[in-house]
Amino acid sequence: MIKIPVPIKVLSAALLPLMIYSCSTTEESGMQPQPEPKPVYEIPKSHQDTVAFIYSRALGLDSTAVKPMDANNVLIDGDMVLAKSTLTQMLSTLPIVEAKDSTKSVKSPYVVNNYRVFKIGINPGQMATGVESALYSAIGYWNGILIQYGAEFNFMAFSDPGPSDIMFYTSGYPTVDEPFLVTLPGTAGLPGGAITLNTSYLDTHNITRDQLVSGMVHALGHILGLQHSDRKKNAYYDAGNIGDSASVMHSHFPKGPHTKMFSKGDTAMVKRLFPAPNWPVQSAGNITDLAGIEITAGNATLYYTKTGKVIRGSWDNAVGPTTTFTGRTDIANTDIIEISMTTANRFYAYFSNGYYMNGEMYKLGNNPVDAYNQAYPAPGQSMATFIGTTVKRSNNDHCYWYTDGTYSVGRSNNWATYSSGGKYTVPAGKKFTDIKAIATDDEGRYYFWYKDNTVSRSATLDHSNPEGPVAVKVN
């Protein structure tokens, strides 16, 4: 009998498939349907690294995927780092993955699907040119698919001092031919703790921005516990993307050609693993009574009510799954004039007293950095003439519109840092003062919502040649 330092029940459970399937061979069968999936495991060529084999069973991988990395960590499948201590913990607490069609048995390596914003800690001053904006794009892709299909969590980049869930590092690993090294989740229902950009890879490969972004999308998938889609079918639980060569989780995804980000299999996987929360469907009520409106990555429209509700709908539908948000304890949500969002998924809310707070999607205030600062509108303007704001997806400039038919472009505190006095128009029959809220979407269109429950959108900041106004469904 093989001597290994793991509990006997784990050992026998792990070896069971070995004994049963020791005569089988598994060849990648592409996308051909397999009528009766069974847990067919690849048998290691040698048993020298038996512990790695057992560990790999716990992760649903074959033993060749697990390699020593350093004293404390193993490298899995080329780009995933897992602490040996976490593996040991998994062995004693997690069920062995047996490719059963049971979300419960495989959920453990994945994050718990209770609403959270996973804050990715970055140090903008130390990031190479283009890396920060590439990370924002990658966050946008994930948030787009997660929010669109209803998962309760999303990612946010976070550069302020304070606790982060995931740290973004930059370091050189000359022996690792991968753009990123990523830690897998542990057993606490949280994502992996670190993404490391491998500068050695950047030094030796001439990669494009698109490849950098897709590499980060792939890395964020590992952060959530997803493994490579080109692993042998039936080696572990297939949530929808196993064998899908277009998946963002294909081991060659960042390097190989692709035409779009998430594949059909990825979409199925997201729906399966991170399902929509069971939120009641409610109406946001009349547009004129709202605290603000913003459009997220993936073009979900969030309607924030002054009573602390958030309704997830679309640009012309304010009826949808409804949850709640919190603001600050020292000023009421009823004093919010408008809300905006950056591509780092950071939300800003502006108050009638001239201050703004920033925070997460559903924790607008007192989180994450307790920011509560004075805002300075464009020259000649005030909170009384301010009617709407949003943040350009292309460069994170904050844009503000006023009741006199002008707009300014600046930052969250200084609203005219870049320009002011630009003229905009509204559709026939509307007045500037009819505007209640403004947002932009992934395609760079600008939306004006009016107090009479209508909305129009235009390709430009000045709202020329708008589509609409059309009615917004409010009940």
- Least Å distance, CB 178 to Zn ion, is 7
- Least Å distance, CB 161 to Zn ion, is 30
Distance CA 338, CA 349 (A): 6
- Report the SS3 class of residue 419: strand
- Residues 6+ positions from 260 with CB-CB distance below 8 Å: none
Nearer to Zn ion, 79 or 152 (CB): 79
Nearest residue to Zn ion by CB is 79
Nearer to Zn ion, 81 or 439 (CB): 81
Q: 80-96 burial by CB neighbour count: b if 16+ within 10 A, else e?
A: bbbbbebbeebbeebbb
| Residue among 190, 153, 161 at smallest CA distance from 362 | 153
Residues near Zn ion, by CB under 5 A: 79
Nearer to Zn ion, 184 or 287 (CB): 184
Can you say whether residue 249 is alpha, beta or left, with left for phi > 0 and alpha for psi between -120 and 50 degrees? alpha
| Residue among 264, 265, 248, 243 at smallest CA distance from 213 | 248
Nearer to Zn ion, 119 or 255 (CB): 255
- Least Å distance, CB 228 to Zn ion, is 6
Nearer to Zn ion, 79 or 434 (CB): 79
Are the CB atoms for 100 and 237 separated by under 8 Å?
A: yes
| Residue among 461, 454, 316 at smallest CA distance from 395 | 461
Nearer to Zn ion, 229 or 412 (CB): 229
| Residue among 348, 321, 299 at smallest CA distance from 447 | 299
- Least Å distance, CB 219 to Zn ion, is 7
Nearer to Zn ion, 79 or 294 (CB): 79
Element (H, E) at 134: helix 131-148
Report residue 68 as tokens. Answer: 């020593």
Report residue 416 as tokens. Answer: 């005219």
Nearer to Zn ion, 139 or 472 (CB): 139
Nearer to Zn ion, 79 or 132 (CB): 79
Cα angle, residue 439 at apex, residues 450 and 124 outer, rounded to 5°: 160
- Least Å distance, CB 294 to Zn ion, is 32
**ω before 469 within 30° of 0 (cis)?**
yes
- Residues 6+ positions from 35 with CB-CB distance below 8 Å: none
**ω before 466 within 30° of 0 (cis)?**
no
